[in-house]
A and B are shown apart, each in its own frame.
Chain A
Amino acid sequence: MSEEIRAKASSAGSMLNNPRVRAILYQALLLFGLGYFFYSIVSNALNNMEARGIKSGFDFLFTASGFDILMTLVPYSATSTYGMTFVVGLLNTILVSIVGIFFATVLGFLIGVAYFSNNWLIKRLSVVYVETFRNIPLLLQVFFWYFAVLASLPSARESLSLGEVIFLNVRGLYLPDLVGGAGSSIVYGSIVVAIAAIVFLKKWAKKRQDDTGEQFPVALTSLGILLGLPLITLFIMGVPFTWDFPELKGFNFRGGITVIPELMALTIALSVYTGAFIAEAVRAGVQSVPHGQTEAARSIGLRENRIMSLIIVPQAMRVIVPLLNSEYQSLVKNSTLATAIGYPDLFTVFVGTSLNQTGQAIEIVFMTMAVYFVINMTISFLMNRFNASVALVERK
């Protein structure tokens, strides 16, 4: 490049053609625009709120809410604060998300695998299931399970029962509760120890196999530890548990654990809907593994069940896991539909009732959004770590 051109390029007139200058200019413009945008909405919001007598700030979190909530995992009453309402709602959201994710995964994998059944009817059903449930709006499905299916269960006095221990009626599912006495915490502790031991055993067995080629019956031993250790402590401590059975008293069942129908309906709807998407993902995952892999595995003499667990599943998981990640996140987001049937999740009690009472839309909507955002980021983080563990390790 001649000096002349170089001089021209650096002259002020063509400064705008310099990519770095332009980049700074664009970003400054954006910064200015965003700054102005936020400034104007904040000042508008402050003006409007003052004119309309809406309070601002988070003081309301420390005032008494005055209403009751159908289902609470922590002690709560009408005299509790809005802050407590938030916690109750958050825990209920987390509960329905975890239970929903569990059942959706089980259902999704079952239906997805059913697609590869050699029974024509099962295969067809798998397809019909997927196409039906993923093409109908979830809100309708929530209504269906709640108002059509669960509402048609018998009344409390005519409950369906399993050995007079478990009861199912229109008010919910009643299960016996395990009440721990003195020393029960040691039994719980032993379960934790057993799980830790299994994790350690697995690592050791893998290392031994890598080093010596000898296999160790990990599955059987694990099962032994998981059942044996807690059982032994249970008897040493003299069985410090009693059952609390549900009983019909007055209007309703008392005692035991109650699973309210709102929770059941929402869980079923979420699992069935998300299950259809997960089934699609599983199908795509299994189909992505070339048939040659199975043939190659057979040719080196692997048994059929080992082919599935050692060859097909690990490869299919690479396709399935990223899809699961987004399905889990949408399940959590969709759990807000609880508000349509009155399951007291975060959305219902906070954006619903609390917002109605306090009118502090900005604080409440933002707090709620932040919570869902954090939950989803957590899921994403965990699934990405899981994904890294199943990802293809390429030769360097």
Chain B
Amino acid sequence: MRVFKPQEAQPAPEETMGVAAWIRANLFSNVPNSIATIVILGLLASVLPGLIDWLFIQANWSGNTQADCTNDNGACWVFVSAWMQQFLYGSYPTEELWRVNTGLVALILVIAAPYALPKHLRNTVGVPLFLAYPFICAALLDGRLFGLEFVSTDYWGGFSLNIFLAAASIIIAFPLSFLWALGRRSDMPFIRSVCVVLIEFFRGVPVLALFFMGSVMLPLFFPEGTNVDKLLRVWIVLILFMSGYMAEVFRGGFQAIPQGQYEAADSLGLSYWQKTLLIIFPQVIKVSMPNILATFIMLFKNTTFLLIIGIFELLSTTQTALTNSNWLGGHAPEGYIFVAVVFWVCCFGMSMISANIEKKLDTSHRN
């Protein structure tokens, strides 16, 4: 009897493509491609060496004052290092800087907490901590509530302010925008229209106009004799702005939740809030995560616009440094490059995280 004998499985053919073959296939596969490759390489060759030379090789690295920048053919990084504390922390008193650092570390912990904590602690500890963070952190930086030395918001500044403002805004925007998104889906016509107007208003108006609203218009709305701190006003504006965008993100999230989830929750006899908070909300957050991060990146970049209303975040601190009479004479490229690199690293990092989450989500939803 003849029995079918399958052949032994063979290994995949070895990679036969050498370097030359790879170059030919990927860079010079046809005439237009070859031309494009040569043009691009030519451009890179003409720009990069000079740039590297100015940025690194001829750059001035050490010293404390403008006079230490002796080589005019290179960047003056002394400017950045001398102003580093201002760039990062603003005018916050040096001996109190631990408070800013504690706040930054706490931010990381608070974000990680909902993931790292065991399940039964998540809702009772993790989430409340997350929501309370902006207030605790503001009180810590301010100091009065904890009996520490009082540091007025006029002294807060630098890149840490960009981070704090963006983080504190999105955290408060979470519950607020979720309410707005729920309101937009509501059957109650008045509530629905109020939410629609709120969302569309804060999405449709330039953030710069909102900042101006916070800086010159809001003070007129408070009762006579009341002062509301400028930073607090800006924070309020940022929260509202962010809520408009997040509400739209959540609306997208709601639409991605299958109707069966609602029906299943209803059939279990859950109340509206039980259904919304326990069944729907976690799923909405999960599917919306990449978009939430994208919105956050936008908010984070937009904090630089605060320059225009005179808040000492990183970019406006840089501009202040440029107008200081001891540093006059064109350190703008160094300053702006520093700011660009700092923001690029943060935003690129976050978009990588976002892409990762998206990939994970993608597989988990595939049948």
Tell me whether B148 is interfacial, beta carbon within 8 Å.
no
Tell me which of A34, A51, A351, A377 has the highest count of chain B C-beta atoms within 10 A of its own C-beta: A351
Residue pair A139, B209 in contact (C-beta under 8 Å)? no
Query: Are A140 and B336 also in contact (CB < 8 A) when A48-B224, A49-B220, A122-B40 are?
Result: yes
CA distance in complex: A201, B203 (Å): 40
Interface of B is mostly: helix
Looking at the complex, which one of B27, B301, B302 makes contact with A119 (CB distance below 8 Å)?
Answer: B27
Segment among B69-77, B169-177, B340-348 that sits at the interface with chain A: B340-348
Looking at the complex, which one of A135, A139, A351 makes contact with B304 (CB distance below 8 Å)?
Answer: A139
30 contacts between A and B (CB under 8 A): A26-B188, A26-B191, A27-B189, A34-B194, A40-B223, A44-B220, A44-B223, A47-B223, A48-B220, A48-B224, A49-B220, A119-B26, A119-B33, A121-B26, A134-B347, A134-B351, A135-B301, A135-B343, A139-B305, A140-B336, A140-B339, A140-B343, A147-B332, A329-B204, A336-B206, A355-B212, A362-B217, A365-B216, A369-B213, A377-B204
B355 to chain A, nearest CB (A): 11
Contacts of B204 in A (CB 8 A): 329, 372-373, 376-377
Closest to A355 in B: B216
Closest to A123 in B: B26
CA distance in complex: A311, B308 (Å): 47
Contacts of A365 in B (CB 8 A): 209, 212-213, 216-217
Contacts of B209 in A (CB 8 A): 336, 347, 351, 365, 368-369, 372
CB proximity to A under 8 Å, residues B5-29: 26-27, 29
B349 to chain A, nearest CB (A): 9
Residue pair B190, A27 in contact (C-beta under 8 Å)? yes
Contacts of A143 in B (CB 8 A): 332, 336
Tell me whether A361 is interfacial, beta carbon within 8 Å.
yes
CA distance in complex: A270, B24 (Å): 37
Residue pair A362, B220 in contact (C-beta under 8 Å)? yes
Contacts of A334 in B (CB 8 A): 206
Contacts of B29 in A (CB 8 A): 118-119
CA distance in complex: A269, B37 (Å): 26
CA distance in complex: A252, B307 (Å): 33
Residue pair B190, A51 in contact (C-beta under 8 Å)? no
Tell me whether B145 is interfacial, beta carbon within 8 Å.
no
Query: Are A139 and B37 also in contact (CB < 8 A) when A336-B206, A337-B305, A361-B216 are?
Result: no
Residue pair A135, B217 in contact (C-beta under 8 Å)? no
CB proximity to B under 8 Å, residues A318-351: 329, 332-334, 336-337, 339-340, 347, 351
Looking at the complex, which one of A45, A139, A336 makes contact with B221 (CB distance below 8 Å)?
Answer: A45
Residue pair B36, A337 in contact (C-beta under 8 Å)? no
Contacts of A34 in B (CB 8 A): 194
B335 to chain A, nearest CB (A): 10
Looking at the complex, which one of B37, B201, B206 makes contact with A347 (CB distance below 8 Å)?
Answer: B206
Query: Are A135 and B351 also in contact (CB < 8 A) when A30-B191, A41-B221 are?
Result: yes
B321 to chain A, nearest CB (A): 14
Tell me whether A181 is interfacial, beta carbon within 8 Å.
no
Contacts of B220 in A (CB 8 A): 44-45, 48-49, 54, 361-362
Tell me whether B207 is interfacial, beta carbon within 8 Å.
yes
Contacts of B207 in A (CB 8 A): 333
Residue pair B336, A120 in contact (C-beta under 8 Å)? no
Interface residues on B, range: 35 or more
Query: Are A135 and B344 also in contact (CB < 8 A) when A147-B332, A369-B205 are?
Result: yes
Residue pair B340, A30 in contact (C-beta under 8 Å)? no
CB proximity to A under 8 Å, residues B178-228: 187-191, 194, 200-201, 203-209, 212-213, 216-217, 219-224
Tell me whether A53 is interfacial, beta carbon within 8 Å.
no
Interface residues on A, range: 35 or more
Residue pair A121, B37 in contact (C-beta under 8 Å)? yes
B365 to chain A, nearest CB (A): 15
Encoded as 1 (CB less than 8 Å from any A CB) or 0, chain B from 107 to 123 comes to 00000000000000000
Contacts of A132 in B (CB 8 A): 344
Tell me whether A68 is interfacial, beta carbon within 8 Å.
no
Tell me whether A193 is interfacial, beta carbon within 8 Å.
no
Contacts of A119 in B (CB 8 A): 26-27, 29, 33, 36-37
Residue pair A137, B191 in contact (C-beta under 8 Å)? no
Contacts of B310 in A (CB 8 A): none
B297 to chain A, nearest CB (A): 8
Q: A119-B33, A369-B205, A372-B206 are in contact. List 16 more A-B contacts (CB 8 A).
A: A26-B191, A30-B190, A48-B224, A49-B220, A118-B26, A125-B40, A134-B347, A135-B351, A136-B344, A136-B347, A137-B343, A139-B315, A144-B340, A337-B208, A355-B212, A372-B209
Contacts of B33 in A (CB 8 A): 117-119, 122
CB proximity to A under 8 Å, residues B46-69: none
CA distance in complex: A131, B31 (Å): 28
Tell me whether B333 is interfacial, beta carbon within 8 Å.
yes
CB proximity to A under 8 Å, residues B306-357: 307-308, 315, 332-333, 336, 339-340, 343-344, 347-348, 351
Contacts of B302 in A (CB 8 A): 137
Contacts of B343 in A (CB 8 A): 135-137, 140
Contacts of B304 in A (CB 8 A): 137, 139-140
Tell me whether A31 is interfacial, beta carbon within 8 Å.
yes
CA distance in complex: A332, B207 (Å): 11
Tell me whether A227 is interfacial, beta carbon within 8 Å.
no
